[in-house]
Chains A and B, each alone.
Chain A
Amino acid sequence: MKILVVDDEPDVRVLFEQRFRREIRSGEFAFSFAYSGEEALGFLRAHPSEVVLILSDINMPGMSGLELLRHVKSDPLPPPPPLVMMLTAYGDAATKQQAEQLGADDFLTKPVDFTALRDKLHAIENR
């Protein structure tokens, strides 16, 4: 299952690669990383129909995670449409509601509970 992680913090890559090293080694999950909303859109266009899940931060310089979400949900991307999971340090009701209105499939708050995230990812894979 291919997962695109979008976050402006570069160390997120190292962290995800270590946290999910078993799944990566077994070929269960494949992670790609983008450091901005713009970069993520570019990646999606360059790799059509590959990404199953996008895991995106909301507060990023330039295109925010919510704008990325809007693009993904409204722009015609080659099928199947990827799931989008939003991640934010501001776990407030208003942001969550806004993400849901834009069609987010899930909403997580930072700091990320990796055990819970792992369960969610396995659940998506086993659908």
Chain B
Amino acid sequence: MYNRVPGAWLLWLLLSLPGLAQQAAAPEPAHAAPDLAHLLPAIAALPDSSRVDQLLEFTDVLVQGGRYEETAPTLREAAAVAQASGRPVLESRVELSQGYVAAQLADFAEALRHYQRALDLARAARDVPRQIRVLTRISGLSYQTRDWPPAIRAQQQALGLARQYHLPKAEAGVYGELSNLAGMQHRPAEALAYNNQALAMYRAQHDTVSYYGSLLNQGIVLKNLGRYAESARSYRQVLAYARRTRDSTFILYVDVNLPRTLLRLGQAAEAEQLARQSLALATRTHNLELLHEANDLLAAVQEQQGQYQAALGYQRAATRLQDSIFNQQKSQQLLATDARYQARARQAQIGQLAADNTRQQRQLLGLLAGLGMIVGLAAVLWRSNRQRLKANALLERQKAELQTQRDHTTQALADLRATQNQLIQKEKMASLGELTAGIAHEIQNPLNFVNNFADVSAELVAELKEAQAAGDGEEVAALADDLSQNLGKIHQHGQRAAGIVRGMLEHSRQSTGERQPTDVNALCDEYLRLAYHGLRAKDKSFNATLETDFAPSLPVVEAVAGDLGRVLLNLLTNAFYAVQQRQQAGEAGYQPTVSMSTRQVGGSVEIRVADNGTGMPAEVQAKIFQPFFTTKPTGEGTGLGLSLSYDIITKAHGGSLNVASQAGEGTTFTVRLPC
């Protein structure tokens, strides 16, 4: 029994040094950390900025060793030096480090507080690149918290700064980050668009490494979008570059990613070859994750080739590796977070063993045994009391944390509601913008008539005076009739223009949600003209055949005309966009056609908006009613149009909105409203 004690001690030693656990996983040399007590006198004579440099470097060494909790005194010292220096840029640097350590310890509220102060200080120092760096860190927190909106807000802020101060490198970086964030939220189309912006900027800046990094990311995003051929092309470009420059990291990334894409393309042989390369590399470097991925890949390759026996073998190996990775991760995690706690538990065990030993000796030496027991009991009592105090403190801390989290959640909900309202208003204004050009054109016609009839009436009045002077009563009467007719025309066209303006005001007004009897045919006709002229005004070369088939004597529908009009405008704008896209593809003999029809079907009125545009594949159709989904390039669509339309038709009108589409052939949207 006594012999087991040294073994337990060794285990305790191992566990009490988190650095060792990491060394076992990554065979890097241990960072020889200097002692703070020795460091302080050595740097005492240096200028403030160098002292902060040294202290933060020391912090970095501890952080790299996983010794986060030990950074506190160093960071406190650095904060004191920075504050005494009165230089916000130094303080900002320290706050950034403090934030990073807090984030590593999973105290996100604390991390955010530090980052926010770092941001304020960087702003005070007018150090724009530093502000962008801090914003990137804030955004990085989201990868841990899985809460994305703050990350996007931070990146948008960084984007604004990069643009305002012409920092193209930083701007490209922001696009890369936005792409990653979109990817994490399963929005590959958006991820691709951002990544393309990053690519274009890196290319313009001749930043080769970043360019190929983005290109690799493009391969991943394209694969997620199901565009496998393009994905493979991106990967191969990266691979060619990596081979040229012998960049082993890039080669590894491509080796891991390309085979999946190749498998989708049915190029199993090449996928297998690459997977075997990865397997060899993984075996050589004892990289468990890579081994798992390679085995998993080979299983997929074999399965596709019908080699089920071999596939099963690889699959088993992959599953085993998965378990070991999980266990390794799990134990590393446990070690990192609970090292101290476990160390105390081991200590207690040792205390127990020591007590057992004492009991044995008591049989020989009663007095010593009694003494030993009292000592042991005192130790146990003292420890249990300490643990109780600790447990209380922990409980208090958890309670406070819960309260903070609840406050955060309430705030987040309020923010979300406000943002939602803003977005709805923004979408309305965006569609109003689309209307404006159409409205201008629609108003121009009646106004021309008003002006023309007014002009010609002035001439008639002059003639009437002449006829009167000449005593030609018949001519006077004829001219008076013409004048009266013209006044009627002026009034009529004035009313027509006023009606259009009224419609525009109705569109932009906050909807009262009150349903009124509405003539669906008239509304359809009005919005078809507005949408077409709106697009024509933006792109004068655009022309489309408009077909209408409005059922006569359609029953009146109870509808909120402004809201229903917004839906129609949205469907029509999309239809025109789709035919325009197809036309720009330069297909021979293509005649862009948008048709709109109405009819009564049972107890409902049906409105169909059909186009012979680009159409949509099934996976896009499945998402079009989701908020923020858009296939338009960034900045062209809010991604809210169809989602709001869907709500307006189904929730506010009790109707239905459906889509039918064939990629490359066209799309039909069908609205049904109860009448």
Contacts and interface: CB of A to CB of B under 8 A. Distances in A.
A111 B15 CA distance: 88
Interface string A10-21: 010011001100
B482 A18 contact: yes
A110 interface: yes
A4 B292 CA distance: 81
B238 to A, nearest CB: 42
Interface residues of B, number: 22
Contacts of A11: 449, 489, 493
A89 B493 CA distance: 17
A94 interface: yes
Interface string A81-111: 0000000011010110000000000000011
Interface residues of A, number: 17
A78 interface: no
A39 interface: no
A114 B451 CA distance: 12
Contacts, number: 42
A86 to B, nearest CB: 14
A114 B448 CA distance: 12
Contacts of A110: 444-445, 448
A112 B453 CA distance: 12
Contacts of A14: 485-486, 489
A9 interface: yes
Contacts of B460: 18
Contacts of B449: 9, 11, 15
Interface string B529-557: 00000001000110100101000000000
Contacts of B441: 89
A61 interface: yes
Contacts of B444: 89, 110-111
A15 B453 contact: yes
Contacts of A89: 441, 444-445
Contacts of B455: 114
Contact of A61 (B452, B493, B540, B546): B546
Contacts of B540: 90, 92, 94-95
B572 to A, nearest CB: 16
Contacts of B543: 64
Contacts of A111: 444, 448, 451-452
B354 interface: no
B456 to A, nearest CB: 5
Contacts of B486: 14, 18
B546 A15 contact: no
A21 to B, nearest CB: 8
11 contacts: A9-B445, A14-B489, A18-B460, A18-B486, A64-B543, A89-B445, A90-B540, A111-B444, A111-B451, A111-B452, A112-B448
Instruction: Give me the 3 closest cross-chain CB pairs, A-B, nearest first.
Output: A92-B540, A111-B448, A94-B541
Given A11-B489, A92-B540, A110-B444, 18 more contacts: A9-B449, A11-B449, A14-B485, A18-B456, A18-B486, A19-B456, A64-B543, A89-B441, A89-B445, A90-B536, A90-B540, A94-B540, A94-B541, A95-B540, A111-B444, A111-B448, A112-B448, A114-B452
